[in-house]
Each structure stands twice: as structure tokens, then as C-alpha cells.
Structure 1
């Protein structure tokens, strides 16, 4: 059976060519001959520097009108494949080499053992710098605190054919693909897989990008996040009320000498209560607005972003660049 490989890409053509070579060198021919590559070109400023060697059944490039970012490019690629006459197992992976081609076989094995589940790669070992790994751990802990969910995986995954159309109708994958899967309640699992190293060029993920990525993941679980923040505000207001009660009791019902700064402390407690109330009120309006507004549905609106589809090669034709 054919296996679709979706690779979002922005100016990383050199790494893509090296990845195709690595697939030919490290993946069993019986497997990689089933691969049909769909490169989602996120409006790159450059193009393929050379004609790629034929690897797998086909290689097509989905050209976008504008740059939409990594996560949205994945959503558009999945929506495009979901709109085809037939659906096949679909692998989402990066084109820079961080996702090892040999691990596709492990994703397929797990999918065969647990059919009907999306299989993610849980990163058992990372090769980024210490600072990046530190902030990534902070991000995972904040995500768990705000949403009650554990996210230990990224984009590298395998989607069974029967879930592809359903996933394309999940609006949340437009903001964050892994978070959207969690929000969709579609069945998924994760297996430990070591992260590879970039094949060429420099990573575009910096501190700002990591923060934006984290915020986009949290945003898809806005309801849960808002409730947890509101509960924290209620607890904070309750603690402030207790503080005011204790200071008032000591001042009016005991003989203890209350220091002069106690009045400032009471005033500070009132400020905390007011802020907690305003934050809770703001969260209510945000959640209500989020629930009533119309969300982007990749399955229905993906064509608005597609300029064209270039068929670079297929099993029946020689490699040509359009």
C-alpha cells in the first residue's frame, strides 16, 4: 500500500535533497518504494537547486500563495490529501533530518499493532543546546499545568487512512497539529524515538519561535486553560479574603499592636481581589467569543492557500521540475 509522506518546508531545499538520499541509503527498498512525497512549500524564496533523484513512487510540491508557518503548512498538506479520491497511511515529518527515516518503519509497526490510532514519536533524546532543552522542559510543564494534558511529542507521526478525513475537519490543527489531535479526542499513542540531527543549514527555531509554538499549543485547549486560570484566580481571591480577615481580627478583636503597614497590606489584598475578578471576567468573555466565532476548517478552506501542485516525478515518468 502507498504511504504518503507530508513534509512542510521553507527554504530548506538542500536539507530535503540530503533527506531523500538518506532515505534511499537507510530505508529498505521494499518500504521506500511505497513512499509518495508531498512537500508543502511554505512560499519559499528559493526553489529546488537541482533535480532530485527518484526516491519512492512520486514527489509533488504543494505551492502556497503565502507563508503561513510550519503548523498551518502541515494542516494544508493533510487537508489536500484528505480531499483525494483515496486515502492512505500518512506520515508527517520534518525535512531537515531531525526525524530519522528509519523510524518510519517503527511508526508503521506500532500502527499495525494498534490500528485506528495516530502514532506520534515521543522524543527520548534530543540533540539541541542546553538552553533550548531547558526552555522546552519549561514549556512542557506549563502546558501540563494549564491544560492538564501531557505533550511529549512533536509533528513526527503516522495517521491511519481512516482518520485522515476526520483530522482534516479538526479546526485546531490549523494552530497546532499535536495540540489539535489532543483536542480532537481522536485515539493516539506515542512511542519513544531518538531525535536526529539537522542535515544542512541552521534551525529557524529560536526563543521567540518556541514561545509562539507553546502559546499556539495552549490556545487549542483554551476552554480547559481558562477554567484552570479562573480557579487559580478564585483561590487567590480567597486567600486574600483570609488575609484581610486575619488582619481585621488582630486589629479589632485582640490587644495586639498591629503595625502601621497593616493597612497597606489590607489595601494590597483588595487590589489582588479586584485583579482576580477582572481576569476571571476577561476569561469568560474570551471563552464565549472563542466558542461563537467561526474557525478555519482545513478540509473546507485549504484550496484558498494553494497556488498550484508541481509533480516533480512519478514512477512512470522521469524526474522533471515544473
Structure 2
């Protein structure tokens, strides 16, 4: 790589987090370069290296076609996909002034052929965040089943439907709505959903990986799901407390019914009824304690000011490398 700046800060930006998936990234950059965007826009590509075990030389030939320049941000240590994405957004916000930022993964599942659709939707709704709504996924049946279960749980606990991932377009005027929300550290898509800005959906189909196998498994999906729900922790806690209140009321009714039957009527009540009452009282006490601790936890978190990605990016980025384009023989200086 060569540290030669070649960026036009007004160009749209494509932000791509990467962890050891450089072969797929090379294919992706080639396809982006061959993709024609509306109004023949040129783009600057920001690659966020999330602490990869190896960082190969970037191919200068990829800085061609639609790609005006490529910049690699190397993080000092692995931060995780969502945090790497947040730091990339923070770098763009602090250092550049693009028309908009497009976020996509490096593995090929976010297809470059859908980029013109996102840009066209932006031209129609310039104040909205444009998200790719996947109509068909490429994962196996078991994964898709658990993914649908996750979406149902998300709806039940937050009252919102989340039907998109990282593949999106953020207009310049909306970058602050995302980057100044501390939830972007945990889950980018859920942060967009909570940002209270218009969201436009573009139907897409999930592609297949260019190289290797997907790193998303059941454990990763579970962590990803809980991180999305954590963005709406106040709503989730409120709904859980309501559920605990309903269960507590049900337990109190059962206890009252048993006591009335045992001491107010001649109806025979088995001897183990006392044990049942003690068990229900224990459940009631535990439910009330759990709800109380949830409320305290929520209030404690609200008192703590979280560091924002724009504040941390300077500390977590090791270096920034600009990839020099290939200079043809006709244009080379004599």
C-alpha cells in the first residue's frame, strides 16, 4: 500500500468492515468498480480493518471505474463487527463531508448490484435512511428458522419489526442521528430503527459469500439478537415488568382462592396446599425483586454517559492508509 491521498471528500462513501476476509473484499471491490451508480457518481471506499491477523497489500487496480479512492483504517485491536462499523462512521463524520454513506459487508452477501437501487431511493427520499430489506436469504433452513424466531421475540419485546441489517444508505443530514446514539456501538440496524428518522425500504436478495463460510452461527445470532433488544432496553424492561405484574396478580388470586377455600369453606383441601402457597409466595417475591432490580439497572445506566464513537475513533485507529491508483503509462510523468 502507498500512503497517497486521492480522496474527494464530497464523494459518496462506501464503508466496509473487514476481519480476515481480504479475498472476498478484493472480489467485492472489483464488482463495485464495475457498478454504475445514478448520475455516474464516483465513490470513496473506506475499509475498516477490525484487527485482522494479516493485512495483505491492497490491489491498486481496484481503484478504478466507480471507485475514486480506497482508504484502509486499521484498528489497534479487534473491536467486533458492530464497533468497527461505528468507528468507520465516526471517521467519515469527523474527516469527510460525503453526500451520503453506504454501509455493506465484505463477504458478498450484500450485493453491489443493489447499490444503484439504494442511490435511486435516496434521490426520491433524500431525508430518509435507505435500508436493504432482504426478500430471500441464502442461509440454511435451521438458521432461517431461528432468525424468524428472533424477529418474533423482537416484535414481542419492543413492539417494532426489524427486517433489515447493515446494508444501508445514510444521507449526510442523517449521519448525526446514528453516530451520536451510543447504541450504534452494539447494533447498527436497531440504532437506525430507534433514531426516529424516516426509513425507506428497498427490496433485495441476499447474495452468497465469495470465499469461505459464514461466521454467523446460532451463538452469534443470539448475541446479535440480544444486542438489538438492548438498544430498546427501556421498552423491553417495561414490557417484562408488565408481564411480571400480570403473573404476580395471577399468583395472588391463586393464593387468595386457596386461603378462602381452606378456611372459609368445608371443602377438603389437600395437606400439600400449604407448600403450594409457600412456593407461590416465593415466586411472587422473586418477581417483585426482579422487577425492582430491572428498574434500578435502567436508571443507573441512564446516569452514565457513554463515550461516543466520534470521541474514541482517534484512540482506536492505529493508522490510515490510502491506496494509490494505478497510473497508466500515458499519464505517467516523464
User: Distance between the aligned counterparts of 1:31 and 1:66, measured in 2?
Assistant: 38
Is residue 2:186 matched to residue 1:175?
yes
1:197 alignment partner, SS class: coil
Deviations, residues 264-295 of structure 1 (Å, cap 9, x unaligned): 22122111101111111110111011100121
Runs of 4+ deviating beyond 3 Å: 29-33, 314-318
- The alignment's TM-score, normalised by the length of structure 1, stands at 0.93
User: Distance between the aligned counterparts of 1:144 and 1:51, measured in 2?
Assistant: 44
Shift of 1:24: 3.8
User: Distance between the aligned counterparts of 2:60 and 2:211, measured in 1?
Assistant: 16
Give aligned pairs, total.
Answer: 317
User: Distance between the aligned counterparts of 2:109 and 2:324, measured in 1?
Assistant: 25
Deviations, residues 47-69 of structure 1 (Å, cap 9, x unaligned): 22662522310011011001001
Residue in 2 that maps onto 1:287? 298
Return closer, same or farther for 1:79/1:314 CA change in 2, 3 Å cut-off: farther
Is residue 2:55 matched to residue 1:47?
yes
> Is contact 1:14-1:49 (8 Å) kept?
no
Residue in 2 that maps onto 1:11? 20
Is residue 2:31 matched to residue 1:22?
yes
- The equivalences for 1:142-291 within 5 A come to 142-291=153-302
Is residue 2:71 matched to residue 1:60?
yes
The structure 1 residue matched to 2:119, chosen from 108, 118, 123, is 108
Shift of 1:22: 2.5
User: Distance between the aligned counterparts of 1:110 and 1:255, measured in 2?
Assistant: 73
> Is contact 2:14-2:103 (8 Å) kept?
yes
Return closer, same or farther for 1:50/1:297 CA change in 2, 3 Å cut-off: closer
Query: Is 248-257 or 123-132 further displaced after alignment?
Result: 248-257
> Is contact 2:26-2:59 (8 Å) kept?
no
User: Distance between the aligned counterparts of 1:133 and 1:242, measured in 2?
Assistant: 41
User: Distance between the aligned counterparts of 1:309 and 1:252, measured in 2?
Assistant: 78
User: Distance between the aligned counterparts of 1:85 and 1:310, measured in 2?
Assistant: 15
- The alignment's TM-score, normalised by the length of structure 2, stands at 0.90
Deviations, residues 143-174 of structure 1 (Å, cap 9, x unaligned): 11111111111000000111123422111101
> Is contact 2:38-2:119 (8 Å) kept?
no
Query: Is 206-215 or 29-38 further displaced after alignment?
Result: 29-38
Shift of 1:30: 6.9
Is residue 2:98 matched to residue 1:90?
no
> Is contact 1:118-1:160 (8 Å) kept?
yes
Return closer, same or farther for 1:169/1:315 CA change in 2, 3 Å cut-off: farther
Return closer, same or farther for 1:208/1:149 CA change in 2, 3 Å cut-off: same
Deviations, residues 200-223 of structure 1 (Å, cap 9, x unaligned): 012111222111111111111111
Shift of 1:33: 5.8
User: What runs of 5+ residues in structure 2 fail to find an aligned partner?
Assistant: 1-9, 330-334
Deviations, residues 282-309 of structure 1 (Å, cap 9, x unaligned): 1011101110012121122221111111
User: Distance between the aligned counterparts of 1:250 and 1:257, measured in 2?
Assistant: 8
Deviations, residues 67-95 of structure 1 (Å, cap 9, x unaligned): 00110111101110011252321100000
User: What runs of 5+ residues in structure 1 fail to find an aligned partner?
Assistant: none
